Structure 1
Amino acid sequence: MVRDTGLDGAERTPWAMILAAFASSFIGIGLARFAYTPLIPALVSHGWFTDAAAFYLGAANLAGYLAGALVAPALVRRIGGRQMLRLMMALACLSFFACAVPLSFAWFFVWRALSGLTGGVLMVSAAPAVLPHVPARLRGQASGAIFTGVGLGALLSGTLIPVLLRLGLPATWIALGLASTVLCVLTWWSWPDYRPAPDTAAPPARGQARALRKLYACYGLDAAALVPHMVFLVAFVDSAAGHGFAGGAVAWSMFGLGAMAGPFTLGALADRLGFGRILRLGFAVQFLAIGVLALTHSYPVILISAFIGGAFTPGIAPLALGRVREILHDAPHRQHGAWSRATASFAVMQAVGAYGLSWLYSQTRSYPLLFALGAACVLLALAVDLLRRPEAHTAPDASEPDPGQA
C-alpha cells in the first residue's frame, strides 16, 4: 500500500486514511442523519418543536445532503481536498453542539441543513481521496470499511440514543458532539493531499457515458427502494405484523447489524467478482427481501429481510462507487464528478421516495403496498441494468495500475 507524506511532513498509512474516511461517514451520515430519527419524539414531547416542524427539520438535512453532493467537486478544486474534508468534519461536529441550544426553528433549520451539506460533501469526497492510495485489488474492501461508518451510526442510533435521552435533550446533542469531535481530532492528520486534475480531456466515450447514465438511474431507483425498510419497518412490525414494540426493536437491531456487515462484505465480494456483477446480484436479492414483506407477517422472515435491507442501505454505496471506477478506469480525473452526480441521484430519489411513500401511507394505511412499490423500484433498477451493455470503453477496476507499483 502507498504511504502519503504531505507538506506538513506527516506520514499517512492507507489504513489511517481509511479510518479517517470511516469517521467521516460515521459522523456525517451515521450520526448526523440516523441519530436524528430517534430524537424526534423527544423533540416533540419536550416542547422544542411540533411533530410537523420536527419532520421538516429532518427534510432540511436531506436538502443539505443533496446540495453537498452537488457542490463537493467545486469545493475540492477551490480549497483542496484535505482542507475541505477537515472543514466539513469540523462543521459537522459543531452542528451537534449548536442543536443543543433550541434558539428558534430557523436556528435549528440552518444547522440541520448544514449537517446535511457536510454529510453530502463527505460522502462524495472522502472515499475518492483515500482509494487511490489502496491497491486496486483491495479497493472494494476499503470502500466497504469506509461506508461501514454509516452502518455503525444506524446501529448506535437505535441503542445509545434512548439511553442518552435519560440525561435530557441538550446533554444528548452535546454527547453526540463530543464523540464526533474526538474522532475528528484523532483523524485530523490522516487525510491525504487531494486535488483532482482539471478536466480538460475530451468527453467520455459514448459507451462510458451511457453506462454512467444507467448507473445513475439504477442507483436512484435503489435509493427509493430502500425507503420502506428505513422509514416504515418498525411501525410495520409493531402494528401491522402484530409483533409489538419489542419485536420492532429487535427487527431494527437486525437492520443495524446488517448495516454494519453489508458494506465490507459486499465490497469484498466485488473485489473478487467485479462491481457490476455484484451490483446486479444485489438488485435481485433486494427485490426478494423487500417484496416478501408485502406477502407475509412471519417474524423470522421479517428478521432476515431486515438484515438484508440494512446490509444494502450503506452497502450499495461502495458497489456504486466501484462501478464508477470500473466505467471510468481510463479517466480517473472524471471519477469524482461522476460519483457526485451518482450521489445526487441517490439523494433526490431517497427524498422523493420518503415523502411519496409517506403521503401514500397517509392515504391508504397499507404497509404491503409500500413494500410492493419498493420491490418494484429495485426490479426496475435490475431491468435497466440488464439492458444491452456498452460494447467498449468500460473495464474492471482491477485493470487500473496498482498505485503500490507505480
Structure 2
Amino acid sequence: MSQDACANAPAPAAVRTTDSVLDTRALYAALAGLCASLVAIGLARFAYTPLIPSLIHAHWFTAADTVTLSAANFAGYFAGALFGRPIAARMSNRHALRWLMVAATAAFFACAFPLSVGWFFVWRFLSGLSGGAIMVLVATAILPHIAPARRGFVSGMIFLGLGLGIAASGTLVPALLALGLRETWFGLGALSLVLTALSWFGWPATDAPAGAPAAGGHAGIGAALRAQRPTLRLLSVQYAANALGLVPAMVLLVDYVARGLGQGATVGAGYWVLYGVAAIAGPLVSGFLGDRMGFRGAYRLALLLQALAVAWLAVSGGTVALVVSTIVLGAFTPGVVPLMLGRIHEALPHDANAQRAAWSRVTSAFALFQVLAGYGYSYLFSHTHENYALIFACGAAALIVALVADVAMRGRVR
C-alpha cells in the first residue's frame, strides 16, 4: 500500500491518541469513566455515610439496621468485583457500563421509599454490585485505547469521580438534607441520571483497540497470568493490605475528632470536608507521579506516606498531625486506584485481556479485605473500650507490611 493510501485510510472505531496528545474521543471516554466512578462508587458509597444520622432520626431504620445496610453496599461491591468480567463478557464493556450506571441510578430513587429493611438492603446491595463491577471494567475498557505515556493521566481522571463523591458527601449531601431525607435521595438520583446520560456515548465502541495483539483466548490469558504469578500475588497482597490501612481513617476519622478528641461534630465534619477536597486531587496527582517516576516507585511512595499518616494519627491528636494525615489519607483513598492499575499494566503491558483478569483479582482482594477490615476493626474498637490509637496502629502496620513485601520481592517481580 502506498504512503498516500495509508494516510487516507479510515481511522479505527477505537479511541486514538498520540504519545503526547489526547484527542476528543479519548477525552470523552475519560469523562465517561469519571461519571461512572462518581455515580456508582463516589456517590453510591460515600454519600450514604452522612445520611445515617438522618435515617435514624427520621425513624426510617433503627441504628442496628443502618449498620446492616452499610454492609450491604460493601458486600455488593465484593460481588461486583467478582462478576464484573462475566457481565461484560455477555454484554460487551460498553453496554455493561451503561446499564450498571442505570442500576446505580435506579437504586438512589428506590432508596427514597423505605418500604422495608429488605427492600433497602436489595437496592444498597445492587448499588454496591454496580460499583464493584464498574471498578473492574471502567479503566480496562478505556486505557487499552490510550497511548501508554498518557495512561497515568487518564486513569487519574477516571478515578477523580471517587474523590468528587467523597467531597460531595461532606458538602452536597448536607445541603440536600436541608430539603428533606426523601428529597436528598431524589437529588442524588437526579444527579446520577444526568451523569449517566452525559456518559452514554463516551464509551469506546470496541473492547480492545484496533490492531491489538490477540490474547489467545482463555489459554492465552492464563499463560500470561502464570508468567507473572509472583508479581500478581504481590499486588493482590499489597492491595488487600492497603484496604486494611485505609479503612481506619475512612470509618473513624470524624468520630475520632468529634468524640475521641472532644472537638465536637462540627469540627469533625470540617475534617471530612478536607478529606474530600484532598480526595479530588488524589487520583490526578497519583496519575502524574506514575507517568513521571513509574508506577512501582509511585506506589511505594504512596504506601510509605499512608503508613506515616496513619501512624501519626495513632500517636498524636495535634492539629498539624490531623491536617497532614487527613490530606494524605484523603488523597490516597482514591489515589491508590490508578497506581495499582498502572502496576498491572507494567506487569502485563501488551495483553489487555490479561490486564482485565488481573485487575479483577486485585480489586476482589481489596473489596474482600475492606469488608473484613470494617467488621474486624468494629469488633476490636468495641472490645478495647474505643481505643482509636490501636485501630490506627493496626492500619499503619498493614501498610508497612505491604511496603516491606515489595522491597523484599525486589528482583523477583516486575
Give TM-score scaled by structure 2 length.
0.90
Whole-angstrom CA distance in 2 between matches of 1:53 and 1:42: 13
User: Counterpart in 2 of 1:368?
Assistant: 389
Counterpart amino acid of 1:5? A
* Aligned residues: CA RMSD: 1.7
SS at match of 2:316: coil
SS at match of 2:218: coil
User: Counterpart in 2 of 1:335?
Assistant: 355
Deviation at 1:221, TM superposition (A): 0.4
Whole-angstrom CA distance in 2 between matches of 1:234 and 1:228: 11
Aligned in 2, Cα 1:156/1:316: closer, same or farther, shift over 3 Å? same
SS at match of 2:279: helix
| Residue 303 (structure 2) aligned to one of 252, 265, 283 | 283
Aligned in 2, Cα 1:261/1:4: closer, same or farther, shift over 3 Å? farther
Residue 5, structure 1, aligned to residue 5, structure 2: no
List alignment gaps of at least 5 residues for structure 1: 395-406
SS at match of 1:200: helix
| Residue 200 (structure 1) aligned to one of 191, 216, 219 | 219
Give TM-score scaled by structure 1 length.
0.92
The answer to whether the 8 A contact 2:144-2:352 is kept is no
Whole-angstrom CA distance in 2 between matches of 1:343 and 1:112: 19
SS at match of 1:186: helix
| Residue 261 (structure 1) aligned to one of 276, 281, 284 | 281
Whole-angstrom CA distance in 2 between matches of 1:98 and 1:205: 40
After superposing on structure 2, the runs of 4+ consecutive aligned residues of structure 1 that deviate more than 6 Å are none
The answer to whether the 8 A contact 1:3-1:14 is kept is no
Counterpart amino acid of 2:219? T
SS at match of 2:408: coil
Counterpart amino acid of 1:200? A
Percent identity of equivalent pairs: 45
The answer to whether the 8 A contact 1:227-1:353 is kept is yes
Whole-angstrom CA distance in 2 between matches of 1:144 and 1:191: 17
Whole-angstrom CA distance in 1 between matches of 2:12 and 2:309: 42
User: Counterpart in 1 of 2:185?
Assistant: 173
| Residue 401 (structure 2) aligned to one of 374, 380, 385 | 380
* CA deviation vs aligned residue, 1:368-390 (integer Å, no higher than 9, x gap): 11111110010011111112235
Residue-pair matches, total: 388
Residue 143, structure 1, aligned to residue 163, structure 2: no
User: Counterpart in 1 of 2:70?
Assistant: 58
The 5-angstrom pairing of residues 7-406 of structure 1 reads: 13-195=25-207, 198-201=217-220, 203-204=223-224, 208-364=228-384, 365-391=386-412, 394=414
* CA deviation vs aligned residue, 1:93-148 (integer Å, no higher than 9, x gap): 11101111111111111100000000011111011111122221111111111111
Deviation at 1:3, TM superposition (A): 7.5
Deviation at 1:285, TM superposition (A): 0.8
Whole-angstrom CA distance in 2 between matches of 1:88 and 1:4: 26
Whole-angstrom CA distance in 2 between matches of 1:372 and 1:320: 23
